[in-house]
Structure formats: structure tokens, C-alpha cells
Amino acid sequence: MKITAVRLYTMNIPLITPFKTALRTVNAIENLVVEVETDEGAVGYGEAPPTAVITGDTIPSIAGAIQYFIAPKLIGRTVDCFDELHDVIESSMVHNTSAKAAVEIALYDLVGKRWNVPLYKLLGGAKQRLETDITISVNPVEEMVRDAVTAAQRGFRILKVKVGNDVALDVERLTAIKAAIPADSVIRVDANQGWTPRQAVRIIKTLEDAGLDADLVEQPVKAHDIEGMRYVTANVDTPILADESVFSASDAIEIIRTHAADLVNIKLMKTGGLYGAMSIASIAKACGVECMMGCMLEGNVAVTAAAHAALARGIITRIDLDGPALCKSNPVHGGAQFTDSIITPAEGPGLGITGIDGLIPLEI
């Protein structure tokens, strides 16, 4: 099965409500979709969102990286030797992890199709279903409480609450949500780098004293401040999850070796795709560190790939794959099925995707 063409499109999906974090506000998904075609007619699908504030990637930068640097090195190669394909993509240019991820997802989809097996079974096959949390955007307190109650009514038992853009309000936000949702709900807190190390310790201890019983606090301090995150991890009881601080496998080694966090959040758009994600899962497993599988504002192509990775490995114990749950509609046919908080894979080969409506060809 030889690669003959790489085609680029955009996919637009409106969100149910604007997505707001300490870093940005987004009203609709506009993501790049890549199709990799082979001489046997099989097509692999990949996707990348433009997450400029986290990965530095935009639609034009992702498209340019694929068109001019990655795709020319793949045309004519077979999809069989995945180790070599990974090295070809990785060495095509530095950074540009979203572009690399989009292409790599499509190649893994093709490998699954080549062997006629769902991707999660190729990668490890640990589980049959996942339970994802859902994000509650950072807003005025009453609005966040309303969104949290609505999410609980939709069947989401685990809420990931965004805070960090107004330190004075964060404790009030979280305690008000805790009081409004069912007692068996689980709260995860994501500060998106919004606190200083000292603020983080003070806020988290206050939350502990208030009985919030958070499952974890995600990325309390700046991505580069590994020493600051280690200080937070050492001084609170609540598990700390590294997100923006861990892009690569070597980042994960550093975080785990220095005990800077208790948990690691894997995202395909940070690792540059499934190969790097599986590498982090293996490192974490060797060290007994549990992982979360997260996503950016991704549609059903990229989130399906992340779901397959999470289904494959037992060490990935927490799931934050709510991109599709935030969307008003789903133009992707097949792929993972998202029924409220429960994610199950399609049993078709690769990602199990059979087509995508409304793709707009991307000319660069």
C-alpha cells in the first residue's frame, strides 16, 4: 500500500456554547482535515485544530508544513514500516506538532485498514469503552453553575472546570459548582497556567479545606515553570496533572524524574501524533504514573484517534475527550461513538471513519 496523494481541507463546526479558558475564547471549530490516499484506493483521515496559544499552530502554518515539508517526503512510501514513517515526519521540520499529528493520524488509519483491524487493537487493545469528562468554561459564577448543572443533567458524571483567569473568584466558582451538582460527581480543575506557585498552593489548600475533593488540578502554573509546579505538587495533597508542560516523551521523563507532577496529560496535538503519545504512555507505565488522554478543540477525526490510543493502554486512566460533546453537529460518518459521556470505538478498520460531510478544499 503506497502513498500517492495528500489532500487538505477545512472542517467547520459551530460550538454549543463559546469555549473559554484562561488562555482564549473560541466560538466555532475550524480545523484542518487531511486525506492520505494510496495506490490501493484506501484513504486515511487525519485532523488538526489551530491552537495558536498552546502549540503555536494556525491553519496556514499547519497547511504549509504538510504541503511543503511533510507530504513531499511521504509520497511513494509504503505504509508498512511505521517506525520509519514516524522518523520521516519527525525529521521533516522542528515543532509543528499539530501538522505532524494530522498526517500521522491518517497514516495510522491506513495501517489499520491495511491489516483490517480497529486501531485500538493494533496499539494494545486494553479497553472497550471510555468515560470522558466535559469542560465547563470559565465565566461568571452563576453561568458556570448553570453549565455544570446542565452537563450533569446530560449524563456527565465528571466535570473539568476551567479557572485561573481571576484568582479572587476561583475558589467561589468551584465551591458553588460543588454545591449545585450531584454528590457522586467528580470535579477536575484546570487552571491553564493561570496561577503563580504560591497562589496555586493557597487556592488548592483552601479547596481541600472546603471539601472539594478534586480528582486533580491541571497545569496550575506557567508551562516553563517546572520548578514552580514541583513546589505545588510537593505542598498539596490533591494530585497535580501536567498539561502544557509536557509536549514530548522527553518532557514526560523530566516531569516524572523531578516529581514535578503526579499525572501527565497526553494530547496528540502536543506529541505530534500517536507514536509520541504511545511513547509517553510507555514511559509513564514504566514509572507507575497514570495518564489522562486529552484533546484540543478537536472534531471527531482527531478525537477518534485519541480515543483509540486511550482504549489501547491501561495506564491512561482519565479521559478528557469532550471536543465532540461541545459541538452542535458532527459531519464525520463512523469513527468513535460519543453517547453523552461514554465513548465506544467503531469496529471498522483503522479509525472506522467512512466519510466526512462538508469538507472545503484548502488551497495554499
Q: How far apart are CA 240 and CA 155, in angstroms?
A: 26
Q: Single out the residue of 47, 57, 109, 190 in contact with Mg ion (rule: CB under 5 A).
A: 190
CB closer to Mg ion out of 47 and 243:
243
Least distance CB 317 / Mg ion (angstroms): 16
Task: Output the DSSP codes for 239-308.
Answer: -EEESTT--SHHHHHHHHHTT--SEEEE-HHHHTSHHHHHHHHHHHHHHT--EEEE-SS--HHHHHHHHH
Q: Which residue type, as a one-letter code, is found at position 232?
A: V
Q: Single out the residue of 243, 262, 298, 322 in contact with Mg ion (rule: CB under 5 A).
A: 243
CB closer to Mg ion out of 176 and 223:
223
Least distance CB 218 / Mg ion (angstroms): 5
DSSP three-state, residue 9: strand
Q: How many CA atoms lie less than 13 Å away from 185 in the CB half-sphere? A: 28
113 is catalytic: no
Candidate list 162, 178, 222, 270, residue with the active-site label: 162
Scanning 135-143, 205-213, 238-246, 322-330 for contacts with Mg ion by CB under 5 A, the matching segment is 238-246
Count of residues of this chain found to bind Mg ion when the rule CB under 5 A is applied: 3
Q: How far apart are CA 162 and CA 169, in angstroms?
A: 12
Least distance CB 335 / Mg ion (angstroms): 23
162 is catalytic: yes
3-class secondary structure for 37-90? EECCCCEEEEEECCCCCCCCCCHHHHHHHHHHHHHHHHCCCECCCHHHHHHHHH
Least distance CB 349 / Mg ion (angstroms): 32
Scanning 188-196, 229-237, 272-280, 303-311 for contacts with Mg ion by CB under 5 A, the matching segment is 188-196
If one asks whether residue 215 binds Mg ion (CB under 5 A), the answer comes out as no
User: Under the rule (CB under 5 A), what is the footprint of Mg ion?
Assistant: 190, 218, 243
Residues noted as catalytic: 162, 267
